[in-house]
Structure 1
Amino acid sequence: MSVINTPNGYRLDNSGKRVVVDPVTRIEGHMRCEVNLDENNVIVNAVSTGTMWRGLEVILRGRDPRDAWAFVERICGVCTGCHALTSVRAVEDALDIKIPPNAHLIREMMAKTLQVHDHVVHFYHLHALDWVNPVNALKADPKATSSLQAVVSPHHPMSSPGYFRDVQTRIKRFIESGQLGPFKNGYWDNPAYKLSPEADLMAVAHYLEALDLQKEFVKLHTVFGGKNPHPNYLVGGVPCAINMDGDMSAGAPLNMERLNFVFARIQEMVDFNKNVYVPDVIAIASFYKKQLWGGGLGALSVMDYGAYPKVNYDKSTDQLPGGVILNGNWDEIYPVDPRDPEQVQEFVDHAWYSYPDETKGLHPWDGITEPNYKLGPNAKGTSTNIEELDEEAKYSWIKAPRWKGHAVEVGPLSRYTLAYAHGVDYVVEQVNRSLAGFNQLAGTNLDAKTALNSTIGRTLARALESEYCGDMMVDDWNELISNIKNGDTSTANMDKWDPSTWPKEAKGVGTTAAPRGALGHWIRIKDGKIENYQCVVPTTWNGSPRDPAGNIGAFEASLMGTPVERADEPVEILRNLHSFDPCLACSTHVMSEDGEELANVKVR
């Protein structure tokens, strides 16, 4: 390849030093990344690879569509619930099933709980160590750390010098034990880490607090869905009844005691978002004010189907409106229609799948998931021990989704870019307030587009969405209580549960604002069984390989132009990729290392 110019504006040069990161850790699934560095250690070529095949679309063929949610929910153990919600929405769309308002509100609270839980876990436990140096925290002055927190998050109750001294002692004992766990193999002497010792100590303290709280948040799933991970869902509504006069022994999981318990968990999320999570991201970002790289397609070419509908999944009531922005033009927002075969298409000319004509993309209703694993002629190594991939050939288990042929980024940053451009008041206020705080701490004067189009902006958008979801859940809970007080206790519509009421053939689509971005499931039903099922997930969009036109996806674009302090300690690569919260388990479509068939499942 040497040097090529891509249609979406990137100049790729694979003649420089090749750096391979395999696996990329602290994500869900299996991922490999290869980059080329120029003489200044700046990334000039990027190759992002999903290294496993999922195959659930194949498993679902011939099954009862009412059971699909239970299978697709197992795609991932982190974004638990969003695939089930999207699946039941797709089936309900195909069969024209309207769910009761209470079911909609309960589903929304479950979905928003997932957002908060996933975003908090992502930042503190998967992404923070790209910015925070726990070893450096041992040098901190606990009194100065307490003073710092008084500036950053003055309403957080755990902020005394004694508290931070105790945390510092715990860190010291942990490190001296030699059992470093999540801190093992870190690049702790790398100059790419910029926080002061006090900021590091504050962030590690909140890392530990988040560990305790995240298990409390998901208890909402156990109340409404019976368990977590993988709470229960139901085509037609939710699998929990309301009986305000009964107790738990009467068999009704929802009474006032349970609903008050839910509200207490929601309030915990609201408080942590406002007092800890959002202030931490702004404060940490201010130390990296000179490193506003990694935006790629973010805030410039973005897409979302729309998020958080208020009434019965009516897209006209989305609180975060969807759309597409291309090439940074925030003044023109294109509408998105997941049913349109010319809009959402998946390509496989650089993915390990086969199409009859690989120059053309397929809409998910017509999607084909046929594995075809083979390395390109210029790859180095073997099929079971790859040394270097050939990006001119097939190089990933991830397909390449495109919107009308355009590579776009999806995720919280995309939702927030669209909402800001649409003028959603809550989002505009959030972004402007956060940006003012960042500019004050960093001594900068950045506008929204400049700040958001970066790895830092992508991380901030995730925190702001978590804050918004917490606030929206308060409204959802109040509306549910109001419905119950008015005598409405319905949580399911079973009018079309019997397959004899279904048409001979039907097709539907469900979309959801998953934690990592725009999620869509497409289903075809024939004679009461699933004829075809396709999932196009956020990491498929973001982690896609190149398409027939040569466009690169969001992961690869975010890496371009990123400077690396040390080629053998590429923490900057991890920062960029982790900011997307990649879920390769969702995006890749299980084979043995030699590619032979492992199982043959027949459905009767």
Structure 2
Amino acid sequence: MKKIVIDPITRIEGHLRAEVIVDEDGVIQEAYVSGQLFRGIEIILKGRDPRDAGLLAGRICGVCTNSHFRGAVSAVEDAYSLVLPKNAEIIRDLMAMALFIQDHVVHFYHLHALDFVDVTSALCADAKLTSKEAHKYSDKPFRNSHSHYEETIKKLQNFVDAGKLGPFSNGYWGHSDYKLTPEQNLVMISHYLEALKFQTKISKAVAIFGGKTPHPQSIVVGGITSVADMLNPQRLNDYLFVMKEAKEFIDRAYLPDAKMLATAYRDEIKAAVGRANGNFMSVGGYEFEGEQRLFCNGVIYAHNFENIEEFDENKVSEEVDRAWYKVNGKDREGVGYKDNEVFYTDLNEDGSLKTAKNDDKYSWIKAPRYDGKVMETGPLARVLISYKKDNKLIKSFVDEFLEATDLELIDLSSTVGRNSARAIETGYICEYIFKLVSRLIQNIKYYDTDTWTKYDFEKLDKDAKGRVFLEVPRGTLSHFVNIKDQKIDNYSVIAPTTWNATPKNFDGVRGAYEEALIGVKMQDPSKPLEVLRVLHSFDPCLACAVHIIDTKGKELSRYKIKSL
């Protein structure tokens, strides 16, 4: 047995470390995934005015700002039983939907694509054959001219001639586990570069109603403040124009590329590479028409798609047996409202994590559980649950993708399958986001312009508790607030990555990240491409997953950066 350490995992938000134990054949037998940086916001929120919660909680992460902003404000609204005007909900949803689209595209191309794309191989591609290849996956491929591909090769050659690969600088070119042809690699690189432009454009859609992005300013307790934008036909048209451009890229580049990837890596998909334990969770949400929701709520156990339970928030708990915390002097806790005591334990002398004993602590990430079980959350969970609960909105999108790639639903539970689910979800959101805008326009047309629920803060309850469960790009997000004397007394967040990157608990059960690594074969331990591929498929956000900070001024550790 041999231990392989990858630290840090790059192309993610935050600092993640993975230690895997491989046998003589390079097959992973055990895995420990650790959130390494101690940081956060919850203690900063203590003693603050609840109406300021969104502005502060939005700083939990530089990527998921909108999600935490809305989560904090919604938790406070729940505490005070405030009911929002429909227009405020729609504006918040339009901002959220634009963020879903941006986040998924950026993840696929800029954070994950280099796990599958051998960049230097594209230099050998034939531009005419590349155009033909793209037509296998789309009737109208995005920017598919011979001249465009020839220009892309020139750009790539300039990077190589300069002695560096610019945005493609970290990869394992020539690795035996790369499976795309030179022409397929060139298609993906072309779209990688186009996606850099895409993400700047789609950000405008969030900013139209958010005031700016990241860190939007327009969500307030009781509603939204971007009333002038909502009532201005030009602003609504600007939003629609951005979304129409986005839909074109999704339909002609992103979805076809996801199909191409699924076809090229079909053997790995069928071998269930990267499959976790099969427990999936979604809280649902995003109303469209009456009781219809964009996502269904539900819980799946052990890939049993035929028996989906309704989500029950009372079954959520958060434990710390193997995370570097104690709670009120104890090792375990219920969810929300409680103080966390830092309890860091040293690493082994060789710098490795302490994992030998069942009670060794090895991560700053806490351990959320649903009914005592680990869960996977995210686009895959949402697609599986919504599809099997016969959500009419999403069913055709899943069926079309599975038919085009000759896959079954269970195949989505894999490394490449997670990317497929994320692409399906993006196409699905792009289709229905226009219906939300239509609903908003209809409301305005019939003189419903309410955007804020009036309240008198001084007359609200002095003591209150609130919570919210939301589906955000990376999965299920929950915020919990405890208010005393009209000030925040305690605050707690469970982010999607907290669920997926959870450490083992007292029972030794692996979280989704760790379980998905088991059985993966590494071709070359010095180039751990296979490990990165599995972890990146979850779109890790460690800034969200580790979010407690010590405000007592106590030095916890000291770091020294060595120059190379």
TM-score by length of 2: 0.94
Partner of 2:352: helix, strand, or coil? strand
State the distance in 2 between where 1:326 and 1:111 align. Answer: 28
Q: Which 10-residue stretch deviates more, 465-474 or 200-209?
A: 465-474
Partner of 2:470: helix, strand, or coil? strand
Partner of 1:267: helix, strand, or coil? helix
| TM-aligned CA deviation for residue 96 of structure 1 | 0.9
**Counterpart residue number, 1:257:** 234
CA contact (8 A) 1:455 1:575 kept: yes
CA contact (8 A) 2:156 2:165 kept: no
2:306 counterpart letter in structure 1: D
**Counterpart residue number, 1:390:** 355
| TM-aligned CA deviation for residue 328 of structure 1 | 1.6
CA contact (8 A) 1:90 1:510 kept: yes
CA contact (8 A) 1:416 1:461 kept: yes
CA contact (8 A) 1:135 1:188 kept: yes
* Pairing 1:88–2:73 present: yes
For these two proteins, the number of residue pairs brought into alignment is 550
State the distance in 2 between where 1:137 and 1:179 align. Answer: 15
**Counterpart residue number, 1:322:** 297
Partner of 1:212: helix, strand, or coil? helix
* Pairing 1:469–2:429 present: yes
Report the CA distance shift for 1:532/1:191 in structure 2 as closer, same or farther (over 3 A): same
| TM-aligned CA deviation for residue 330 of structure 1 | 1.3
Report the CA distance shift for 1:141/1:373 in structure 2 as closer, same or farther (over 3 A): same
Which residue, out of 224, 234, 239, partners 2:225? 239
| TM-aligned CA deviation for residue 438 of structure 1 | 1.1
> For 1:398-429, what per-residue CA distance to the aligned partner results, in whole angstroms no more than 9, with x for missing partners?
00000010011010001111112211123222
State the distance in 2 between where 1:362 and 1:388 align. Answer: 26
1:323 counterpart letter in structure 2: G
Partner of 2:201: helix, strand, or coil? helix
| TM-aligned CA deviation for residue 179 of structure 1 | 3.0
State the distance in 1 between where 2:376 and 2:76 align. Answer: 27
Report the CA distance shift for 1:570/1:66 in structure 2 as closer, same or farther (over 3 A): same
* Pairing 1:271–2:238 present: no
**Counterpart residue number, 1:421:** 388
Structure 1 segments unaligned to the other structure (5+ residues) = 1-15, 243-251, 440-445, 599-604
Partner of 1:426: helix, strand, or coil? helix
* Pairing 1:369–2:340 present: yes
Report the CA distance shift for 1:301/1:279 in structure 2 as closer, same or farther (over 3 A): same
Report the CA distance shift for 1:142/1:591 in structure 2 as closer, same or farther (over 3 A): farther
State the distance in 2 between where 1:255 and 1:71 align. Answer: 29
CA contact (8 A) 1:389 1:395 kept: yes
Structure 2 segments unaligned to the other structure (5+ residues) = 558-564
Which residue, out of 293, 296, 305, partners 2:283? 305
* Pairing 1:335–2:295 present: no
State the distance in 1 between where 2:297 and 2:323 align. Answer: 28
| TM-aligned CA deviation for residue 73 of structure 1 | 0.7
Which residue, out of 62, 79, 89, partners 1:77? 62
| TM-aligned CA deviation for residue 161 of structure 1 | 1.0
Which residue, out of 490, 505, 519, partners 1:561? 519
**Counterpart residue number, 2:327:** 355
| TM-aligned CA deviation for residue 369 of structure 1 | 2.1
| TM-aligned CA deviation for residue 78 of structure 1 | 1.2
CA contact (8 A) 2:367 2:504 kept: yes
State the distance in 2 between where 1:294 and 1:360 align. Answer: 33
Report the CA distance shift for 1:211/1:127 in structure 2 as closer, same or farther (over 3 A): same
**Counterpart residue number, 2:545:** 587
1:283 counterpart letter in structure 2: M
State the distance in 2 between where 1:253 and 1:425 align. Answer: 29
**Counterpart residue number, 2:46:** 61
CA contact (8 A) 2:328 2:339 kept: no
State the distance in 2 between where 1:591 and 1:40 align. Answer: 44
**Counterpart residue number, 2:562:** none
Partner of 1:395: helix, strand, or coil? coil
| TM-aligned CA deviation for residue 595 of structure 1 | 6.6
Which residue, out of 151, 175, 182, partners 1:190? 175
1:478 counterpart letter in structure 2: S
State the distance in 2 between where 1:146 and 1:229 align. Answer: 36
> For 1:127-178, what per-residue CA distance to the aligned partner results, in whole angstroms no more than 9, with x for missing partners?
0000011110000000000111122222235111111111111111112112
CA contact (8 A) 1:69 1:83 kept: yes
Partner of 1:428: helix, strand, or coil? helix
Q: Which 10-residue stretch deviates more, 181-190 or 518-527?
A: 181-190
TM-score by length of 1: 0.88
CA contact (8 A) 2:41 2:59 kept: no
CA contact (8 A) 1:118 1:515 kept: yes
Partner of 1:297: helix, strand, or coil? coil
| TM-aligned CA deviation for residue 470 of structure 1 | 1.3
State the distance in 2 between where 1:502 and 1:568 align. Answer: 60
How many percent identity over aligned positions?
41
Partner of 1:204: helix, strand, or coil? helix
1:380 counterpart letter in structure 2: E
Partner of 2:74: helix, strand, or coil? helix
**Counterpart residue number, 1:104:** 89
**Counterpart residue number, 1:380:** 349
| TM-aligned CA deviation for residue 336 of structure 1 | 1.8
2:408 counterpart letter in structure 1: D
CA contact (8 A) 1:223 1:254 kept: no
Q: Please show how residues 132-531 of structure 1 align to structure 2 within 5 Å.
A: 132-232=117-217, 233-242=219-228, 254-292=231-269, 293-297=272-276, 300-310=278-288, 317-338=292-313, 340=314, 343-356=315-328, 358=330, 360-365=332-337, 367-375=338-346, 379-381=348-350, 386-390=351-355, 392=357, 393-439=360-406, 446-449=407-410, 451-493=411-453, 495-496=454-455, 498-531=456-489
**Counterpart residue number, 1:28:** 13
| TM-aligned CA deviation for residue 253 of structure 1 | 7.0
| TM-aligned CA deviation for residue 469 of structure 1 | 1.5
Partner of 1:187: helix, strand, or coil? coil
CA contact (8 A) 1:373 1:595 kept: no
1:241 counterpart letter in structure 2: V
> For 1:498-553, what per-residue CA distance to the aligned partner results, in whole angstroms no more than 9, with x for missing partners?
32121121111112211110000011111111111100000000001011222110
CA contact (8 A) 1:348 1:354 kept: yes
> For 1:224-261, what per-residue CA distance to the aligned partner results, in whole angstroms no more than 9, with x for missing partners?
1111111112111111114xxxxxxxxx6741111101
CA contact (8 A) 2:328 2:340 kept: no
| TM-aligned CA deviation for residue 278 of structure 1 | 1.0
